[in-house]
């Protein structure tokens, strides 16, 4: 066994809205470390960056990239309608032949913000919300009895819908449907909490994050994902909000950050000495070394000692593709914060040339520290020398790395048939109780060598 340092997670500050990041003064200048800001509130006019940090908003994420928009002007005067302006407010009520048909509200800078539409009974049946460039970003169809939204459509600038929400009579979310740019349904969800989970699950599987938050509600959401997701690390920055029962919650955290030395000592007194408690002062010039320390200690060290890989089945899928399945058992211990962080893959190695090739390992079952894995291995990339090809299963789990050859306990599991590919004869066999592939030159290759030698 040897140890490796897995990839360094990227810092992400997760908050309901960007105002929270400003309020708590969490930005890249203070932390002096590459960071993303992840937000949940719908903010069509929100920036895509804040200082040097990229802002990843949940709604913008599902909307996808858009071309640069040409600003649309919305004049107050509209042909065929008369209007009344509210005193000292940028609000206008429009009439058509005496019937009240719509309400328009503008921003203080003169940009259209909202249009409400009314039927002949003066009931509001639709609302349009506009972004600062003059495009409809939100369309609501109202319940005529309660005057509350019944369906809410979130729109791209071209008018296509990327998300729609249906609401129950009590105002809670009934169903959420997410669409791609071709109007295909991507996902159907049934609560705002499911939407947040779905967003975070996709985001943190694209990038390994140490997700820091200072909001208790968002911490609860992140915690529910952190154990199941192998690419996520969880932290909490104590500010105006505090975690209930910190002695219990500290075990779920990769990093608990307090801004004062007194609070640090109070926390240690409650929880006992922990490696995941950090005093990070508010002075910007001292923060970098503390963040480096936090990042350097994530992931945690697990206590795995050994990995045993036992062959279950071996089968040639084609002349060059070998399907394997195996039972994998680890020895040692894994703390709660390391559960689910394993990454497994197969490796073929040409013993003579050292040529290597890796392939994905699919985990089909898992119980405690025992797994069943499978995968299809392509032999072609390592066929460059007359040699033995060794087969390994590799595992990266936090700071631990294992590369174990596949142990054979029953020779009936090893097919005896030979394969012929690119002038090589391949024989799957057992050597010293482990599976391997022996290569020999086929007739075609020998003939070509003789012809070449004569020249």
Tell which residue, 326, 404, 400, 388, has the closest CA to residue 361: 326
Dihedral sign from CA coordinates of 233, 234, 239, 240: positive
pLDDT of the residue at 63: 96
Q: Which pTM was predicted? A: 0.65
Helix (H) or strand (E) holding 91: strand 91-96
User: Are 363 and 355 contacting, i.e. CB atoms less than 8 angstroms apart?
Assistant: no
Give residue 23's pLDDT.
Answer: 64
CB atoms near residue 135 (< 10 Å): 19
More confident residue, 52 or 56: 56
In this structure, of 215-229, 330-344, 391-405, 437-451, the range with the lowest mean pLDDT score is 437-451
Q: What is the mean pLDDT of residues 329-340?
A: 78
Question: Where are the strands (E) in 224-341, listed by range?
Answer: 232-237, 255-258, 277-279, 303-316, 321-333
Which has the minimum average pLDDT: 3-17, 97-111, 207-221? 3-17
- Cα pseudo-dihedral 407, 412, 418, 419, rounded to 10: -60
End-to-end CA distance of the chain: 50
Q: Would the pLDDT of 280 be above 50?
A: yes
Q: Output the CA angle 41-44-49, nearest 5 degrees.
A: 80
pLDDT, residue 424, reads 84
Where are the extended beta strands (E) located within 339-433?
Answer: 342-350, 356-360, 362-367, 370-378, 388-397, 400-405, 418-421, 424-431
Measuring CA to CA, which residue among 134, 87, 126 is closest to residue 107?
Answer: 134
pLDDT band at residue 26, thresholds of 50, 70 and 90? low
Per-residue model confidence (pLDDT) at position 136: 97
Q: Residue 357: is its pLDDT beyond 60?
A: yes
Kindly tell me if the per-residue pLDDT of 362 is higher than 90: yes
Q: What is the pLDDT of residue 391?
A: 95
Q: In this predicted structure, what is the pLDDT of residue 288?
A: 65
Burial category of 409 from C-beta neighbours within 10 Å (exposed 0-12, middle 13-18, buried 19 and up): exposed
Mean pLDDT to the nearest integer, 212-231: 80
Identify which of 171-175, 289-293, 447-451 has the greatest average pLDDT. Answer: 171-175
- Kindly tell me if the per-residue pLDDT of 143 is higher than 90: yes
- pLDDT, tens digit (0-9, with 9 covering 90-100), for 191-209: 999 999 999 988 887 787 8
Sequence-distant (≥ 6) Cβ neighbours of residue 98 within 8 angstroms? none
Look at residue 448 and tell me whether its pLDDT is greater than 60.
no
Q: Which of 102-116, 121-135, 172-186, 321-335 has the lowest mean pLDDT?
A: 321-335
Q: Who contacts 343 (Cβ-Cβ below 8 Å, separation ≥6)?
A: 230, 395, 396, 397
- 359, pLDDT greater than 60: yes
pLDDT digits (tens, 9 = 90+) for 301-314: 567 889 999 999 99
State the number of CA atoms in the 13 A half-sphere of 353 facing the CB: 15
> What average pLDDT does the chain have?
86
pLDDT of residue 4: 33
User: How many other C-beta atoms are found inside a 10 Å radius of the C-beta of residue 213?
Assistant: 26
Name the residue with higher pLDDT: 54 or 34.
54
pLDDT band of residue 442 (cuts 50, 70, 90) is low
Banded model confidence at residue 406, pLDDT cuts 50, 70, 90: very high
- pLDDT of residue 300 exceeding 60, the answer is no
Least confident of 89-103, 113-127, 141-155, 277-291: 277-291
Mean pLDDT of 274-279: 84
Name the range with the highest mean pLDDT among 170-184, 279-293, 337-351, 417-431: 170-184
- Length of the chain measured in residues: 455
Long-range contacts of 252-257 (CB under 8 A, 24+ apart): 252/223, 252/226, 252/336, 252/337, 253/337, 254/210, 254/298, 254/299, 254/300, 254/337, 255/210, 255/212, 255/294, 255/298, 257/212, 257/294
**How far is 11 from 234, CA to CA, in rounded Å?**
10
The residue among 442 and 434 whose pLDDT is bigger is: 434
* Per-residue pLDDT tens over the stretch 410-435: 888 888 778 888 788 899 999 999 99
- Residue 412: DSSP 8-state: G
Residue 404 pLDDT > 60 = yes
Tell me how far apart the alpha carbons of residues 308 and 376 are, in angstroms, rounded to a whole number: 20
Calculate mean pLDDT across residues 144-163.
Answer: 96
What pLDDT score does 374 carry? 96
Instruction: Supply the pLDDT for residue 274.
Output: 81
- In the chain, the percentage of residues whose pLDDT exceeds 70 is 86
29 in helix, strand or coil? Answer: helix
């Amino acid at each position: 066994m040897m140890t490796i340092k897995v990839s360094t997670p990227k810092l992400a500050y997760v908050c309901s809205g960007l105002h929270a990041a400003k309020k708590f003064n969490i930005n890249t200048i203070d932390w002096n470390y590459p960071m993303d800001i992840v937000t949940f509130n719908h903010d069509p006019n929100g920036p895509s960056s804040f200082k040097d940090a990229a802002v990843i908003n949940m709604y913008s994420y599902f909307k996808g990239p858009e071309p640069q928009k040409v600003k649309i002007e919305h004049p107050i005067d509209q042909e065929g309608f008369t209007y009344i302006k509210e005193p000292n407010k940028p609000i206008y009520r429009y009439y058509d032949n005496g019937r009240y048909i719509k309400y328009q509200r503008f921003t203080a800078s003169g940009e259209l913000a909202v249009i409400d539409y009314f039927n002949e009974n003066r009931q509001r049946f639709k609302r349009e919300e506009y972004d600062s460039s003059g495009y409809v970003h939100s369309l609501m169809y109202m319940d005529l009895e309660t005057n509350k939204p019944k369906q809410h459509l979130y729109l791209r600038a071209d008018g296509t819908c990327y998300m729609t929400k249906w609401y129950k009579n009590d105002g809670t979310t009934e169903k959420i449907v997410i669409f791609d740019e071709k109007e295909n349904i991507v996902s159907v969800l049934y609560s705002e909490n499911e939407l947040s989970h779905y967003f975070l699950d996709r985001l943190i599987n694209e990038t390994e994050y140490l997700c820091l938050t200072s909001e208790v509600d968002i911490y609860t959401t992140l915690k529910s994902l952190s154990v199941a997701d192998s690419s996520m690390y969880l932290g909490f920055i104590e500010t105006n909000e505090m975690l209930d029962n910190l002695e219990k919650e500290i075990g779920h955290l990769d990093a608990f950050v307090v801004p004062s030395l007194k609070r640090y000592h109070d926390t240690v007194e409650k929880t006992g000495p922990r490696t995941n408690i950090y005093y990070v002062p508010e002075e910007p010039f001292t923060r970098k070394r503390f963040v480096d320390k936090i990042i350097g200690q994530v992931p945690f060290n697990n206590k795995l000692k050994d990995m045993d890989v036992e062959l279950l089945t071996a089968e040639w899928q084609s002349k060059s593709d070998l399907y394997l399945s195996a039972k994998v058992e680890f020895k040692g211990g894994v703390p709660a914060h390391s559960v689910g962080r394993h990454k497994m893959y197969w490796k073929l190695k040409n013993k003579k040339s050292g040529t290597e090739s890796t392939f994905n390992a699919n985990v089909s079952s898992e119980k405690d520290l025992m797994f069943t894995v499978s995968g299809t291995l392509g032999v072609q990339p390592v066929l460059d020398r007359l040699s033995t090809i060794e087969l390994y299963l590799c595992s990266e789990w936090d700071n631990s790395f294992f590369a174990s050859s596949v142990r054979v306990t029953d020779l009936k599991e090893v097919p005896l048939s030979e394969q012929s590919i690119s002038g090589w004869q391949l024989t799957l066999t057992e050597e010293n109780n482990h599976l391997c592939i022996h290569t020999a030159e086929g007739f075609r290759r020998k003939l070509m060598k003789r012809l070449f030698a004569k020249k």
